Structure 1
Amino acid sequence: MRSRSKPLLRDDQVAKSRPKRPRDPAQPNLPFDEMPSRIEPALALLKSKAPVGPDWALEVKFDGYRVSGHIEPSGVRILTRGGHDWTHRFPAIAASARKLGVGTAILDGEAVVLDNKGRSDFGALQRSLGGRGGKQASEEAVFFAFDLLYFDGHILTNTEMSVRRHLLADLLARSNGAVQLSEEVEGDGETLLQAACAHGLEGIIAKHRESKYRSGRTGDWLKIKCVRSESFVVIGYEQSSAARGGIGSLLLAARDGEGWKSVGSVGTGFKEADAFYLKQTLDRLKTKRPAVPIRGKNLVFAQPTLIAEINFRGWTDDGNLRHASYKGLREVQDNAAIFQIDSQKA
C-alpha cells in the first residue's frame, strides 16, 4: 500500500501544471491545501423522473466501477469506491492519467469497458478483470471523469459543481487516451432519458449546478434509470439437471434491518461459465440454516456472502423482483451497497 500524500505547505514544494497564461499579479496567491488520501464519493439518489429546469446538468449514466484517480508528482493511484488501490488493475488508465500534464489532481469518475456500440458493459468489464476475485489487469478499461475534487494544490469540494466541471473540461480538453471527459448532454431530461433507453444505455445522471461536492446520497446528484439495477446477496440456488452448469435460478435477499428478506430469484442473464463458477462457489458456502426461511424443492442454501448485481423491472405485490436478470457479481472492494428493504422502490 502506498503512503499518504505529503502535506503541500510551501510554494516550492508543490508541483503545478503549466499555466496557459501568465498569472494576474492583482490576484492573490491562495494558500495550498494538503492533498487528501481519499475523499468519500458523492452518490446519486434514485428517482423515477428527471428533474426539470436549467439548474440541473445531465450526463449519461455509466455501468462500471466507481473509481477516483489521484495524480501526484510521485505517481498515480486508482482507488475503488471502497478505498482499495487498484492501480495495478487499470494500467492503461494510470498511464493515461500520467500524461495529463497536471501536478496534483483528484478525478472522480467511472471505469468502464465499452461494447462495439460505445455503451458501457458491466459484464465485459468483469471479464477483462478476470471475473470476481480475478487478478487480471484490464487494458480495455476507460476512465470517464465527471468531477474534479482537487487541483494544483487546492481542494475543490466547496466549489460549485459548474466551476469544477469547467476546470475538468479544460484539463481533459486534449485527452484522447484511457482518461476521457464524461460529457454534459444538452436537452430536456425526459427526452434524453427516452433516447438513452432507446440506445440501450443505463439511464441518465442529473447534478445540481450550484451544489458543492458532498459525500453520500444528499440529493445533489440524481440517477434516473431505464431499468432498475441493484445489489442483492445470493442465499442459495435451485438445482437443475436440465440447466447447463446445474443452476436453475439463484435465490436472492435484501437487507431488512439487521437481517435479510427474500426478494425472489433470478434464472436468466448468466452464461454457462457463470453458472459453473456460481455453483462451485456457492457449494463451498453451503449451510443447512438458510439466511431466510424458504420452502421449495431442490434448493441448496448458502451463506449470504456473494453480492450479485441484478437488473429488474419493478416489484411484485408480495415484495419479489419482477423480470429479474443477472448482470454479474460485485467485488468486495467495489463497496457495493446491498439493497435495503426500507429504501425507496420508486
Structure 2
Amino acid sequence: MTKPPRKPSQPLLGDVDAPIRSRARRRRDPAQSQLLLDPMPARIEPCLALLKSRPPKGPQWTFEVKWDGYRLAVHIEPSGVRILTRGGHDWTERFPAILAEAKRVPVSTAILDGEAVVLDAQGRSDFGMLQQSLGGRGGKRTSRDAIFMAFDLLYFDGHDITGTELVSRRHLLEGLVPPGGEEAIRLSEEIDADGEKLLRIACEHGLEGIIAKDRNSPYRSGRLGDWVKIKCVQSDGFAIIGYEKSTASFGGIGRLLLAARKGNDLVFVGGVGTGFNERSAGELRQQMDELIVGKPAVDIGRKRNAVFVRPKLVAEIEYRAWTHDGKLRHASYKGLRDPADHSDLYEV
C-alpha cells in the first residue's frame, strides 16, 4: 500500500518505523507474552449515524453517499470468511458474490464495515430490489446481485484499529479496496465538498441522502454523533399494528396502520396507503393475517373496516414531514425490514 493519505494525519499507531503494537482487548496467553497481535473480536457493535436535518460544517467533516441496504460486517480470517448482519446474524451463505470477493481481498485478517446493496440502472441503491433478490422478508434465497459498499476498516492484519482516527482507517481500507472498482466489494468513496451543495446534488439525482463523518474520530459503537446522516426524504422503521380493508387495493389493503416507539410504549403515527404493488401487498397481507388480534396495540381512535395485528412486523416508510398532531405526512411504503437487520423503530 504505497498510496499516501489524501491529507496529513497522525501516524496510525505511533512511529511508522517501529513495529505496530496496540493494546490488548483481553488477557493474552502467558506462553505467548511476546505476541504483538490483538485477539480478533467475534463481533463489533456498529457505529450508527445520528439523523440531522442539515449537514455539519467544518474541515473535520468528510462526506459519502448514504446507501440503502443491509448493514454488514465482513470478517476475513485464515479459516474463512463470515458475513454478519447488524444484529449479529450469520448471513455468509446469502451473499455468495460478496463471499467469493472477500476471499480475494489481499489481507490475512480484517473486519470490513459496510452496506449490502443492489444498484438500479442509474447506479442508485434500491432497498426493494435488495429484498426481492433475497426472497423478501424472511426469505431464504441467496442474492447474487448484491454488492458490498465498504466504508470502514475495524481490524487489520492482527490489529484492532477501532481506536485509530477515521482518516487512517480509510487509508488502510483503500489499500484493500481501491477506489473505482467494479467487483462485488467496492469502496464507498469519500467526497470532499460543501455539505449543503452535496446534499442538493444527491437529492436531484434521486439518492437517499448523504453521510457526514468526523475525520478525527475513532470507531465508537452506537449513535454518538461521530457520524451524521442527512436524508433527502425521511425513511424510518415503524411497527405495523393493523390495516384498513379495501376491495379496490392490492391485497385488499387500503391503508397500513403504523406506530412508533415512545419510551417503552408504542404510539400511533397514522397510516400509509401507497407504495404497494400486487406482489408486495399480497405477501404483506398473508403475513399480517397470521398475526390478527381483537384490539389494537395502541389507541388509534375510531377506524372503519380495520383489522388489528400484533406489532411484530416493521415497515420501512418514506415520508416528507410530520403533521402538527404527530402523524406521518406524504408517507409511502418501501418494504418490510428483516428481523435479522436489527432495525430500530422510530422514536418520537
TM-score with structure 2 length normalisation?
0.90
Matched, 1:303 2:310: yes
CA deviations 1:121-157 (Å, max 9, x no partner) are 0000000000001000000001000000000000010
Q: Partner residue of 2:176?
A: 171
Q: Does 1:148 align with 2:153?
A: yes
Quick one: distance in 2 between partners of 1:57 and 1:143? 20
Three-state SS of the structure 2 residue aligned to 1:192 is helix
Partners of 1:216 and 1:297 lie apart in 2 by 41
User: Corresponding residue for 1:313?
Assistant: 320
Distance 2:246 2:16 in 1: 75
2:110 is equivalent to residue 109 of structure 1 = no
Question: What 5-or-longer segments of structure 2 have no aligned partner?
Answer: 4-14, 22-35
Show the counterpart of 1:3.
none
Q: Which one-letter code corresponds to 2:325 in the other structure?
A: D
Find the aligned partners of 1:158 and 1:256 in 2 and give their Cα distance.
Answer: 33
- The residue number in structure 1 matching 2:18 is 27
**Aligned residue pair count:** 321
Partner-residue secondary structure (3-state), 1:217: coil
CA distance in 1, matches of 2:42, 2:115: 19
Offset from partner CA, 1:269-314 (integer Å, 9 cap, x none): 1111111111111111000021012211100000000000000011
**Structure 1 residue 20: Cα displacement:** 6.9
Gap change, CA 1:209 and 1:20, over 3 Å in 2: closer
Name the counterpart of 1:200. 206
Question: Which one of the candidate residues 60, 74, 78 is aligned to 1:73?
Answer: 78
Amino acid at match of 1:143: F
Q: Name the CA shift for 1:29/1:227 in 2 (closer, same or farther; >3 Å).
A: closer
The whole-number CA distance in structure 2 between the counterparts of 1:178 and 1:108 is: 14
Which residue pairs with 1:120 in the alignment? 125
Change (3 A) 1:237 1:35: same
- Aligned residues of 2:250 and 2:276 also touching (Cα < 8 A): no
Q: Secondary structure at the match of 2:48?
A: strand
Task: Determine whether 1:330 maps to 2:337.
Answer: yes
Identity fraction in percent? 62
Residue 49 of structure 1: aligned partner: 54
Residue identity opposite 2:236 in structure 1 = E
In structure 2, do the counterparts of structure 1 residues 105 and 25 end up closer, same or farther at CA, with 3 Å as the change threshold? closer
SS in 2 for 1:78: strand
Q: Does 1:228 find its partner at 2:234? A: yes
Q: Give, in whole Å, the separation in 1 of the partners of 2:17 and 2:319.
A: 57
Structure 1 counterpart of 2:197, from 172, 186, 191: 191
Deviation for aligned residue 1:229: 0.6
Distance 1:25 1:110, change over 3 A: closer
**Counterparts of 1:29 and 1:280, CA distance in 2:** 56
Q: Cα distance, 1:26 vs. partner?
A: 4.9
Q: Which amino acid aligns with 1:311?
A: E
Q: Could you tell me how far apart the structure 2 residues matched to 1:287 and 1:144 are? A: 41
**What residue identity is the alignment partner of 1:193?**
L
Structure 1's 29 and 268: CA in aligned 2 closer, same or farther, altered over 3 A? closer
* Structure 1 gaps, min length 5: 1-18, 342-346
Q: How far 1:25 sits from its partner (Å)?
A: 10
Supply the distance in 1 between the matched residues of 2:67 and 2:262 (Cα, whole angstroms): 28
Distance 1:80 1:29, change over 3 A: closer
**Inter-partner Cα distance in structure 1 for 2:223 and 2:20:** 34
How far apart in 2 are the matches of 1:147 and 1:26? 24
The amino acid across from 2:194 in the alignment is D
- Which amino acid is the alignment partner of residue 65 of structure 1? Y
* Structure-2 change in CA distance of 1:129 and 1:100 (3 Å): same
> Aligned partner of 1:338: which letter?
L
